[in-house]
Amino acid sequence: NAGVTQTPKFRVLKTGQSMTLLCAQDMNHEYMYWYRQDPGMGLRLIHYSVGEGTTAKGEVPDGYNVSRLKKQNFLLGLESAAPSQTSVYFCASSASVSGEQFFGPGTRLTVL
Amino acid sequence: AQRVTQPEKLLSVFKGAPVELKCNYSYSGSPELFWYVQYSRQRLQLLLRHISRESIKGFTADLNKGETSFHLKKPFAQEEDSAMYYCALLGGYQKVTFGTGTKLQVIP
């Protein structure tokens, strides 16, 4: 099992460009999460999903959109990237709301 | 609003010394608390959760509702314990809130 995978690993964008980060899990987990990690800020929840076809806002959702069309995939979109969105993005999944979260390797995004 | 506070950004201890990583939380309901760890060049992973009341790699954590704390402790630090540690709280609306993390540095 690959667990949780993220695509791409690195990306550099110019201000105003758009992109989509893909998270995939092969553990049949219901719950999926997108976090951003910034120095001194820890992990902050952007959006999450409690099942296929559902999404919900987390702590810092502005400037991001998500979709969960398939149970195994959770996409994070940036419609118009800003330098403030330079960060490391982590995806995670869990079998239940109180279950262990399994994390992906992260995507390092730089917005110039 | 739910909040997790880890007051120390960096904690340096000598090998063999006791370790205590502090975590305080703010939540009006009954919390579920976790400790996650990220070793160098590895993924973030669960270390332990309070409902399990288990000891993992010699670490324990007790939920103190009176002090709203969930400090992580180990009696004798090992070099391989050096890592970034995050305290996390599962609160309302199925949201998980992470603290800002504490970097543990074990000095040989």
pLDDT, tens digit (0-9, with 9 covering 90-100), for A39-87: 888 899 999 999 999 999 998 999 999 999 999 999 999 999 999 999 9
Share of chain A above pLDDT 90, in %: 88
Cβ neighbours around A31 below 10 Å, total? 22
B90 burial class (0-12, 13-18, 19+ CB within 10 angstroms)? buried
Report the residue of B94, B96, B97, B100 to disrupt the A interface, i.e. the one with the largest count of A CBs within 10 Å. B96
Model pLDDT, residue A112:
96
Of A23-27, B2-6, B15-19, B49-53, least confident by mean pLDDT is B49-53
Phi-psi region of A27 (alpha: psi -120 to 50; beta: other; left: phi over 0): alpha
Residue B92 has pLDDT above 80, yes or no: no
Instruction: Give the minimum alpha-carbon distance from A4 to chain B in angstroms, rounded to a whole number.
Output: 10
Instruction: Give the minimum alpha-carbon distance from B62 to chain A in angstroms, rounded to a whole number.
Output: 17
Mean pLDDT, range A17-37, rounded to an integer? 96
Nearest CA in chain A to B46: A100
Helix (H, G, I), strand (E, B) or coil at A63: coil
Task: Say whether residue A58 is in contact with chain B using an 8 A CB cutoff.
Answer: yes
Task: Say whether residue A59 is in contact with chain B using an 8 A CB cutoff.
Answer: yes
Model pLDDT, residue B29:
84
- Residues B4, A44, B40, B105: what is their CA dihedral angle, to the nearest 10 degrees? -30
Q: How confident is the model at residue B4 (pLDDT cuts 50, 70, 90)?
A: very high
List, for residues B40-68, the tens digit of each pLDDT value: 989 999 999 887 778 889 999 988 989 99
CA dihedral sign, ordered A13, A21, A53, A61: negative
Model pLDDT, residue B26:
94
Residue A19 has pLDDT above 80, yes or no: yes
Q: How confident is the model at residue B95 (pLDDT cuts 50, 70, 90)?
A: confident
